[in-house]
Amino acid sequence: MEKQNKYQLGSIGVGGHWFRRIYYSMKKDGRMEPGKGVGVSPYRNRSHLQSFGITQDKYYQIEFDEEGKPTAKIPQKFFEGLDVIHIASWNQYHSEQTKQSLENDLITVTEKTLATTQEQFIDTIDFIKEGGYSKKVAVNLHYLGKSATRALMKDDPKLLLKALKKYGRINRVEATFFEDLNTEDERRTWLYKKENGGIWMDWGPHPSAILVNQCGAIFQDCVNAELFIVRPEYHPVYPTGILADFKIQGENFSTNSIASIRVAKGLAAGVTTKKIRFYFEKDAYLEVQYSGTEAEYEYQLMGNISLVEGTDDERRIVEIWQPTERMPREIFIEEIVKMIEGGDPPQSLDEIQEIYKPQWLLNDLIDKPIPKGEIEDVREFIREGMLNF
C-alpha cells in the first residue's frame, strides 16, 4: 500500500458504532484517515464502509479455523502501509491481535481491554515490556476523555482537587453506570460471556479508570459482589448487572474507604444513568453526572458536576459546573497522533494494570457466579442504584 499524506488507521472490527464516531473525529482533525479494515463478514455485508473510504480492496476478513470458526488471526497483508491499529473486535481476541499488531511495529490501541483473563492480561503486559513496545500501546477508555472527568483533577477548574483541600479525603465512592435497552446490545450476545469478560468488562473499567486516573486509587480487595440478570433477552444465563464493593487506598482516600460500583445493561427504555459520587470526611460530596454518548455527539450535552454540603437531613448545592470542552473522540484522535509522532501514551502500563485489577478481584470472588433473576431482586438492585443519587 502506497504511503498516504495522512496517517493511516487500520481498524480490526469495523461493524460497530465506535468506528463511525472515530471516522467523524478523524475527519474533523484532518491528520488521519481510515486506511484498511478487518471484519468477520465478507465485504458484501459491509458495503457501508465505502462511505468511510474503505473500499473492497482495503478490506480483509479474519482467518478461520478448519471447522470454519473465526480466529483472532489477521492476514499479514492488512498491516502493510499502516501507522496505527485500532482493535475493536471481540474482547477474547484482543491479546493475540495486540501482539500481532506490535510485531509489525505499529501503534496499537484497543477498545476497553488488552485481555479478558488475569493470566492473559499479565502475559500481554509481559510481551509489551519484553518487546520494548511500552510507548506503542494504549487502551481507549473514553470516559477519561470526557470533559467532566478531566475537570476533576487534571484540567481546570479541578473541582475534586479543590474539594479535597476543603472537605478532607474521600471516605466513600458510589458509582452507577446503567444503560437502557439497546438493539445493538441485544445482538452482541458474545459480550456477556465469561470468555469476553462479561458485563463488568463492558462498563466496570470506566468507574475504575476514573478512580485510578483522577484520584490515584489503589484497589485492595473486592469485599462483596452480587450478580443480576437484568435483561434475559440479552442473555438468559450470564449476568447483565453487577454490584461490587471494593476496598480502596491512596493518598486521597481515608482508611477503609469503599467504592460501591453498580453496572447494568438493558434497563427499561429511558431508565439510564452514569454517575459517580465522592463523599468526603467532612459533610459534603461531589457528584459527576455524565451525558450519554449520543447526547454528546448530537446535542453537545456533556453532563455536569455538583458540589453539595450538609447531612442527609439538610443539604445545599454549593456549586454546579457544566463542561463545554471537546468530545472524548477528538481527544482520542489527538492522543493517537501524538503516539504516532513519538509521544507517550495516555496511560502507563502500571496505570492500565491498576484500572483492570477490579476485574480480577471480582473474578476471584465470583468464580462460579449464580446471578439473581427474580424480578424483585432486579428491581431492588436498580432502585438502589438510582435512589443513591
Within a domain: 2 = no
**49/190 same-domain check:** no
**124/221 same-domain check:** no
Within a domain: 338 = no
Of 74, 107, 140, the last residue of a domain is 140
Specify the pairing of strand 107-111 against strand 84-87.
parallel
CATH value at residue 72: 3.40.50.720
Q: End-to-end alpha-carbon separation of the chain, Å?
A: 53
**pLDDT, position 4:** 59
**102/204 same-domain check:** no
Within a domain: 341 = no
Of 113, 140, 167, the last residue of a domain is 140
Of 83, 108, 140, the last residue of a domain is 140
**14/97 same-domain check:** yes
CB 173 within 8 A of CB 258: yes
**202/259 same-domain check:** yes
Within a domain: 283 = yes
**pLDDT, position 301:** 84
Within a domain: 64 = yes
**pLDDT, position 147:** 92
Q: One digit per residue, pLDDT tens: the chain, 389 residues?
A: 444 589 999 999 886 666 777 888 899 999 999 999 999 888 888 878 888 889 999 999 999 988 888 899 999 999 999 999 999 998 999 999 999 999 999 999 999 899 999 999 999 999 999 999 999 999 999 999 999 999 999 899 999 999 999 999 999 999 999 999 887 777 777 788 877 888 899 899 999 999 999 999 999 999 999 999 999 988 888 899 999 999 999 999 999 999 999 999 999 988 899 999 999 999 999 999 998 877 887 788 889 999 999 987 889 999 999 987 788 889 999 999 999 999 999 999 999 999 999 999 998 887 666 788 899 999 999 999 988 65
**198/176 same-domain check:** yes
Number of C-beta neighbours around residue 266 at 10 A: 23
**pLDDT, position 300:** 82
**What is the residue-wise DSSP string for 91-149?**
GGGHHHHHHHHHHTT-EEEEES-S-SSHHHHHHHHHHHHHTT-GGGEEEE-GGGSSHHH
Within a domain: 189 = yes
CB 272 within 8 A of CB 292: yes
- Which of 125, 308, 141, 156 has its CA nearest to residue 213? 141
For the chain, how many structural domains are there in total?
2
**pLDDT, position 197:** 84
- Which of 84, 91, 113 has its CA nearest to residue 342? 84
**159/265 same-domain check:** yes
Compute the C-alpha angle 183/186/188, nearest 5°. Answer: 115
**pLDDT, position 162:** 97
Query: Domain residues for 306?
Result: 145-331+357-387
**pLDDT, position 1:** 44
**What is the residue-wise DSSP string for 5-55?**
SSEEEEEE--SSHHHHHHHHHHHHH-SEEEEEEEESS-GGG-GGGGGGT--
**123/35 same-domain check:** yes
**pLDDT, position 368:** 65
